Amino acid sequence: MVAKLRDVAAKANVSVGTASMILNGKERGVRISAATCARVLKAAEELQYQPNPFARSLRTQKSNTIGVCAAYLYDQYTATILQYVNRAAHHKGYRLMLSFLEEQEDPVQTIREAFGTGYVDGVLIRESADKLDDQSILKLHKEGMKMVLVGREIVGSSIPTVLYDNFQGGYMAAEHLLKLGHERIAIAMENDPLGKKRSEGACAALDKRDDSEVLFVDICSPEEISSRGYQAGTDILHMQNRPTAIIAHDDVLAFGIISAVKAEGLRVPEDIAIVGFNDMANISAYYDPPLTSIRPPYAEMGGTAVDLLVDIMDGRLAQDAGTKILLNPSLIARKSSGVSCP
C-alpha cells in the first residue's frame, strides 16, 4: 500500500502533526529544528510519500481542481485553448476536470453534479450557447459558483470574461485586403454575436475609405456552416457587383467558399482573395491555397483565463468584479489573400 503521513511520521520519530507542518509548512511561523525537518523530509522521500488528495481536500475545503466545461472539442479552437489551459493550470498546481454537456440534459443540473459541492474550486466555461444558455450561466454564477467565461460574453453581466477582440480581427482582415488594393469586399458571417463583431470591425475599416464598397452575406445556422460555405461562395460570385475579396466567418466557411470559387472556374487569390478566422492548426496553412487567417491569441486566452480564475478562487478578485480581458488576434498572411507563401 501507498505510504501515509502516519508512516512518514513514525519513520522520522515525530508526530503526524509535525510531519504535516514540515511537508507543506506554509511558513506560518513554523518553529521546527533543522534536524527534525531533515529527518522528516528524508523519510518522506524514502517512502515516496504522496499526500492523499481526498483527505486533504476534505479538511481544507479546497480541491485544487479547475472544472472545464466545453463543447465541440473537435472544432480545434476550443481544443487548442484547452491545451494552454492545461499548461497554465498545471503550472499553478491545479488539476483539470473535464465535462462536455450532452444534448437533452439539464445543463445547470449537469454542471452542479459534475462540478458542484466543492468538487472543483472554479469553472472555466467555454461552452457553446446552444448547449448552455446565458440564463443557466447567470444562475450558476448567482449561486456563487466561481467562474470565468472564455471566448464568450454575456453582456450586462458581471461575470469575469476572457475574450479576443473580434472587432479588431475583422478590422485587421479588411485593412489587410484594402492594403492589397481591394475595393469591393464581401463579408460572409454567421448570424451570431461573433459574426456581428467581426463584420462590424471589417466595416469600420472599410468605412474609412470612401472608395470601398461593402457587400454582405449572412449565413444562418452554425451547424450548417461547412456545407453553407459552398452555397455562400456561389451566392457571392453571382452578385451583380462581384467582389474581389471575401472575409469569411471562419476557416471552415472559407474552405467552402474556395470550393465554390474554383467550381466557377475562378482562381484564389488572383480573381478572389479570401481571409478566414481561426487559423486551424495543420490545416489552414496547407490548404489549397494556403489560407490567410485571423489567429486568435490561443495561448494568452488559456493562460489569462486560468490566471483570472485563480485570482478569483484565492479571493484576490471578487467574482462579480466584472473583469473583462480583451486580447488581440493576429493576422497570418498567406497565399489566399495574395501574399506569396513561403
Partner DNA sequence: CTCGTGTGCTGAAACGGTTCTCCAAGATGG
Partner DNA sequence: CCATCTTGGAGAACCGTTTCAGCACACGAG
Q: Which residues bind its own copies (CB under 8 A)?
A: 2, 50-55, 57-58, 63, 65, 68, 73-76, 79-80, 82-83, 86-87, 90, 95-100, 102, 112-114, 116-119, 225-227, 229-230, 252, 255-256, 258-259, 262, 280-283, 285-288
Cell numbers describing residue 184: 469591393
- Name the binder of 4 from DNA, its own copies, none, CB < 5-8 A by kind: DNA
Q: Residue 286 gets which letter from DSSP?
A: G
Nearer to its own copies, 33 or 282 (CB): 282
Rounded distance between C-alpha atoms, residue 243 and residue 184, angstroms: 5
CB atoms within 10 A of CB 62: 13
C-alpha atoms less than 13 angstroms from C-alpha of 74 in its C-beta half-sphere: 0
Residue 340 site contact among its own copies, DNA, none (CB < 5 to 8 Å, cut-off depends on kind): none
Bridge partner residues of 219 (DSSP): 190
Binding site for DNA (CB under 7 A): 4-6, 13-18, 20-21, 23-24, 26, 28, 31-33, 35-37, 49-52, 55-56, 58-61
Which of the choices DNA, its own copies, none does residue 35 contact, using the CB cut-off of 5 to 8 A by kind?
DNA
Q: How far apart are CA 167 and CA 98, in angstroms?
A: 30
Task: Report the distance separating Cα 158 and Cα 93, nearest Å.
Answer: 27
Query: Which are the contacts of 234, defined by CB distance < 8 A and separation ≥ 6?
Result: 260, 263, 264
CB 56 to DNA: min, Å: 4
Kindly calculate the radius of gyration of the chain based on its CA atoms and give it in whole angstroms.
26
Question: Which is closer to DNA, CB of 11 or CB of 197?
Answer: 11
- The two counts, helices (H) then strands (E), for the chain are 12, 12
Backbone angles phi, psi at 243, to 5 degrees: -70, 165
In angstroms, give the least distance from the CB of 78 to its own copies: 8
CA–CA gap between residue 253 and residue 281 (Å, rounded): 16
Q: How far is the CB of 314 from its own copies (least distance, A)?
A: 19
Residue 165 CB, nearest approach to DNA (Å) = 41
Least distance to DNA from the beta carbon of 308, Å?
24
Q: Which is nearer to its own copies, 206 or 306 (CB)?
A: 306
Q: Please, what is the minimum distance in Å from the beta carbon of residue 314 to DNA?
A: 14
227 binds, among DNA, its own copies, none (CB under 5 to 8 A by kind): its own copies
CB of 33 or CB of 104, closer to DNA: 33
Cβ pair 296, 173 in contact under 8 A:
no
